């Protein structure tokens, strides 16, 4: 049996912890109409599906699935970044990565596989045997060279688990991310969890390679107006020096 629109809508509403009344008020329809949509007593229009998806902050791929479940055509494409009409996007990604040198920058897909790296990230990752196409999550869990190179591996794993949970929840429960969470949890050091459960403001990752230790914290950027599935799932990790020694060494590489 295929996906039923009413069931899927209810699942997403519960995922976002919204009542029928809350969703109805936000979408400017009655709670009764939301109930009828969820039970199948009413069929949604295309505009209604898209409006509810917007209010529930549903990812683009899942929006297409909800449209299909309602018997409607998908609204969002899923272009490969190599396609001609994605040239401006490739140029933007290249510009961000290049301009971030001499600090590392990496383009990642939604499952944290490396799409592209700038020169500094390539040099940093090469020492650990990591290259485009590899999954950061797999290398963090299984690549012994990576685990040995990260001095504070326990802290990094705790931070990664927290981020993955947030990302998986946003996607409505992603099996790939959940498998990575389970894997990292099974391998983490229980003593690394803060007693009160509080995480610090940011956790620098400390890499040792070539006899030099580099300390970084990261920010993530995404395309905020994306109307394509692949583009909406692309993220750019920009790594910044977390101490003056790291900054000095990297700046000397220009």
pLDDT tens per residue across span 32-64: 999 999 999 999 999 999 999 999 999 999 999
pLDDT tens per residue across span 188-217: 776 655 556 666 667 799 999 888 899 999
Percent of the chain as helix, strand, coil, to the nearest 5: 50, 15, 35
125 contact partners, CB below 8 Å, separation of at least 6:
114, 117, 131
Q: What is the mean pLDDT of residues 109-136?
A: 93
Q: Which of 235, 232, 234 is nearest to 64 (CA)?
A: 232
Give the whole-angstrom CA distance, residue 31 versus residue 23: 7
Q: What is the mean pLDDT of residues 145-167?
A: 91
Is the CB of residue 107 less than 8 Å from the CB of residue 115? yes
Give the whole-angstrom CA distance, residue 253 versus residue 246: 11
Residue 69: the pLDDT is 95
- Structural domain 5-69, CATH architecture: Orthogonal Bundle (1.10)
Residue 198: the pLDDT is 64
Is the CB of residue 2 less than 8 Å from the CB of residue 36? no
Which CA distances in Å does 152 have to 144, 192, 203?
A: 14, 10, 9
pLDDT tens per residue across span 55-101: 999 999 999 999 999 999 999 998 888 888 889 989 999 999 999 99
pLDDT tens per residue across span 205-251: 999 988 889 999 999 998 877 788 888 899 999 999 999 999 999 99
> Domain residues of the chain, as ranges?
5-69, 84-251
Residue 80: the pLDDT is 86
Residue 3: the pLDDT is 77
Give the whole-angstrom CA distance, residue 182 versus residue 103: 31
3-state secondary structure of 252: coil
Domain spanning 84-251 has what CATH number?
3.30.450.180
Residue 114: the pLDDT is 96
Residue 1 has pLDDT above 50, yes or no: no
Is the CB of residue 23 less than 8 Å from the CB of residue 55? yes
Mean pLDDT of the chain: 91
**pTM of this prediction?**
0.85
């Amino acid at each position: 049996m295929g996906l039923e629109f009413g069931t899927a809508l209810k699942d997403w509403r519960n995922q976002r912890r919204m009542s029928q009344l809350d969703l109805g008020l936000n979408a400017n329809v009655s709670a009764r109409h939301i109930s009828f949509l969820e039970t199948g007593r009413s069929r949604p229009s295309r505009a209604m599906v898209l409006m509810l998806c917007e209010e529930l902050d549903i990812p683009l791929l899942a929006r297409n699935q909800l449209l299909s479940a309602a018997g409607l055509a998908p609204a969002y494409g899923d272009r490969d970044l190599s396609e001609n009409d994605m040239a401006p996007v490739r140029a933007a990604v290249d510009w961000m990565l290049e301009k971030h040198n001499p600090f590392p920058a990496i383009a990642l897909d939604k499952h944290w596989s490396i799409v592209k790296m700038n020169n500094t990230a390539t040099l940093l990752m090469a020492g650990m045997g990591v290259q485009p196409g590899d999954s950061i999550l797999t290398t963090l869990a299984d690549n012994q060279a990576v685990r040995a190179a990260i001095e504070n591996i326990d802290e990094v794993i705790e931070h990664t688990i927290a981020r993955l949970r947030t990302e998986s929840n946003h996607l409505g429960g992603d099996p790939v991310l959940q498998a990575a969470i389970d894997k990292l949890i099974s391998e983490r050091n229980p003593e690394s969890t803060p007693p009160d459960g509080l995480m610090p403001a940011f956790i620098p990752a400390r890499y040792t390679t070539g006899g030099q230790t580099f300390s970084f914290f990261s920010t993530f950027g995404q395309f905020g107006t994306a109307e394509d599935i692949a583009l909406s799932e692309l993220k750019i990790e920009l790594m910044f020096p977390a101490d003056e020694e790291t900054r000095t060494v990297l700046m000397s590489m220009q």
